Structure 1
């Protein structure tokens, strides 16, 4: 498969059983074959998207010393600002050519989880930054809930199987700024080849070249969304839970051609995580003689910690 399939969430939410089933079949097939889809019909409206991009640009345009006030030590970069070159892909020593921000969960009904997660970081200089970030976070979370409902049906599970695990989940909204490239990068790229850690990732800003996905033959293909589409991919947690039935696809963000080095690139992924106590044990329905159980039992929290150590964001 060399193109990313496009689906419309409005089919799933339409109330028409045949349209709903077509959506389930299409997204299930895409995630078994390439692990990515482009999704229309999500819950972000144009105004919110425009406001979010503006606020994100406003933040990254602040002086470095102002941004660094919001870099919080000791939390593995889970909230606030992470400066340029801090994160590297698993197994790669060069830091990626990006700086980013993390919005996290807004827990309102569970004191235990509220205590587990770091607080969101408030940017004093930009009165609308946190408000717009929260609204976008919640609309992306709502979109992700319906995608996971479709995948639950595809896997033969009860439709709301994931709902309790993602309510107050440890999800992250990450506005990323890839600054202009000023000199020939030695080995670094904007984001080195990697798989995502979480259940699913919803990506805003995949218009234009840059994001590439590796298909089953090992070929890199461009993943370009229409302006009204989110690119959504399976992460390692969901791949593990389904015994690799749903594929977590390796992807990367390549450096632009030299004539575009002077431009910034922005992208805004939403990493949908469950609560840390969710068991990622392989689903029995995904094990058979041809597909024996491939993964040890582990919780989402244990798996996340393991991976953050590998990424260099948490020190052992």
Structure 2
């Protein structure tokens, strides 16, 4: 059996029993990410009622008729806001589209923000009561939790604890409620989400309603990672991998179709993709460059430039 992906108690970082315990958490979290690029986070402080309320409005939206949902699809918008229909997103290099439909909630920013040209206003479905309030409450809660995880990771690679704070405070982060419809045929070649790596700094996945997430180990094995109900799965994305010169790997993962009758059930999940501010320059951190790990990326790139490059690869642009 392959080793298990660790699940850690983040209270040891936010409310530590001692400075030594806080440092031990930083060490354990850093080790988990160096090995797996994934970890579970429990005692995260996000109320189950907030999560349940958000899932409730998301499920209500996906249950609407197709013609209503498609009114919220922004043609040419790269899926940045609103609805993306079934059969669009395709994992990089995959032959078949993913078996999912999804919605995007972005950061609420001022109309005169310097980022407005790349961070459009949110769309909110008028057909679902409470969608905006409950959806954005979850967005904010995951944004705060993500900031805590980044603070611990910064300490692990000898940066100040607050290093990420002013680089993500206007991050182009996305909350993505996903609906994987029931699978009704036994011979389809598609999987619910093809093997891929995430684009952003870190991803926080809250309350996947069914098994299916698998993580590829360094030995090439697919390791199932079904978390407990009170655990949020947090993984490294390609932007943080690039920034840290692969000290933190962005690990390949997928969502496979479950066997038998389980495949006839819908699956819902809600990842939060935490991004830096659009003009943040992704440039390899000097502290991560060593004789054994020379810089892999001599050319820096802005977060927005990198995002657009990758969205084209997965057929969202």
Tell me the TM-score range normalised by the shorter chain. over 0.9
Within a 5 Å distance, the mapping from 1:53-72 to structure 2 comes to 53-72=55-74
**1:113-171: CA deviation from partner (whole Å, max 9, x where unpaired):** 23431110011111201110110000000000000000000010011100011101000
**Which moved further from structure 2: 265-274 or 294-303?**
294-303
| Alignment RMSD | 1.3
After TM superposition, the structure 1 stretch with the greater mean CA deviation from structure 2, 105-114 or 56-65, is: 105-114
Q: How many residues are matched?
A: 314
Matching of residues 138-287 of structure 1 within 5 Å = 138-206=140-208, 208-287=210-289
* Matched residue SS, 2:115: helix
- What residue number does 1:21 align with? 23
C-alpha deviations, 1:80-130, integer Å up to 9, x for none?
A: 000001100001131100000000011249721234311100111112011
Unaligned runs of 5+ in 1: none
| Distance in 2 separating the partners of 1:69 and 1:109 | 23
C-alpha deviation, 1:23, in angstroms: 1.3
Residue in structure 2 matched with residue 290 of structure 1 by the alignment: 292
Given that residues 88 and 95 in structure 1 are in contact (C-alpha distance below 8 angstroms), is that contact kept between their aligned partners in structure 2? Answer: yes
TM-score, normalised with respect to structure 1: 0.96
CA distance in 2, matches of 1:199, 1:186: 33
Q: 1:100–1:176: 8 Å Cα contact kept in structure 2?
A: yes
Are residues 109 and 288 of structure 1, via their aligned partners in 2, closer, same or farther at CA, if it must alter by over 3 Å? farther
Query: How big is the shift at 1:43?
Result: 3.5
What is the SS of the residue equivalent to 1:303?
A: helix
Match of 2:139 in 1: 137
User: Contact between 1:43 and 1:142, CA under 8 Å: does it hold in 2?
Assistant: no
| 5+ residue gaps, structure 2 | none
CA contact (8 A) 2:180 2:192 kept: yes
C-alpha deviations, 1:241-284, integer Å up to 9, x for none?
00000111000000010222220000000000001111111111
CA contact (8 A) 1:79 1:102 kept: yes
Aligned position for 1:4: 5
Quote how far apart the aligned CAs of 1:293 are.
0.5
